[in-house]
Structure 1
Amino acid sequence: MALEPSSANPPDRRDYFRIEDRIGLEIRRLDADTPTPNDPFNGDHLDDLRAELRRLDQDIRLHLASLAERDRLMTTLIKSLNGKLDTLARIMAFEQNPLQQDQWQQVTLSEGGIAFITPTASYQRGDRLAVRMTLPPELFRPQGIAEVVDARADDAGNWRVHAEFTSIHDSDRQQIARHVMRWQVRQRQKN
């Protein structure tokens, strides 16, 4: 007699790699009947500068690849200087707008969504959320719009909320993907 799969426990199908990490997390509930705002976090006067910095960083990476073929010593020096500038930028960003201690929390993160814990039943299935993350140690700040797909009480009396990204820029999704990959590499190096 052949066994049939149980519908009570459907197979775990994942489209993205997931990690458990401690990140900075800012969440704003969006009204269901209003259009998605362009910037739910009220805009930052430094957004244009951050976009320019990302563009310049991509240019440097592109030119480094061709320079590496001709001059390895110069390539190494430029990579070191670029790393130094990245570190300085992260220090300045963190000093300018440090997150409060309660905004750092354990989450499950992937390119497809995020799961987090709240002390109360603040969110319900179908709620739309604006989510901004601060991903250490690089302090990338991707943001997107997510929809709550599940919210359940856990054994400790908290609520575990699972949300799926419904609107996220490709560059923000790529930042999350790089963060997940780097986190996995760091975990392998620890073991």
Structure 2
Amino acid sequence: MDAQRRKRLQLIAIMLVFLAPMVVAFGLRLSGWQPNRLRNNGTLVQPPQDISTDTPRAAVDAAFGWKDTQYRWTLVLLAGPGCAAACQRRLADAEKIWSLMTQKATRLRLAVVGVEATPELRQKFPRLEFVQSSAAPLLALTPAGADTVAAVVIDPAGLLMLRYEPGYDPAGVRQDLSRLIR
């Protein structure tokens, strides 16, 4: 093999080293693959629905609104009829999510729709706001099954962004919230 041919092969090999990752990335992009780290655990609401005009009635905080002036995200638990043991576990999971957010916890508030604010529940779950809301998007996502809970994430502007079906994974909700709240 002469020197000129060897140099051409080296040049082609160098080009392949740099072009191969781009070709692979382009092929993965065309196939629709995304790394798990970039996927939401919840379902993105398309288009985001504005519920800021709804005036929810909170059991304790009279100034509660979906649009938050302190720029806090809201995790809303939508309870089906009859909040029993499974429902209360989800309420406890929400408080655990809040505590696991550490420094970001001040930028997250928790609300529950569809559960009566009894003194026992308010004492048991002090971080939860028990709210009554007539917002159509929230009512549409409320589960029909007894003792079930769905969840939604509302941004500080009052837009419904993510939804989680009953039986969602609380760790996935925490992961999504930690990506959203910076």
- Classify the TM-score, shorter chain: under 0.3
User: Larger Rg: 1 or 2?
Assistant: 2
Q: Normalising by the residue count of structure 2, what TM-score does the alignment of the two structures yield? A: 0.25
Between structures 1 and 2, the one with greater strand share: 1
| Higher RCO (CA-CA < 8 Å; seq separation 6+) | 2
Between structures 1 and 2, the one with greater helix share: 2
Q: Normalising by the residue count of structure 1, what TM-score does the alignment of the two structures yield? A: 0.24
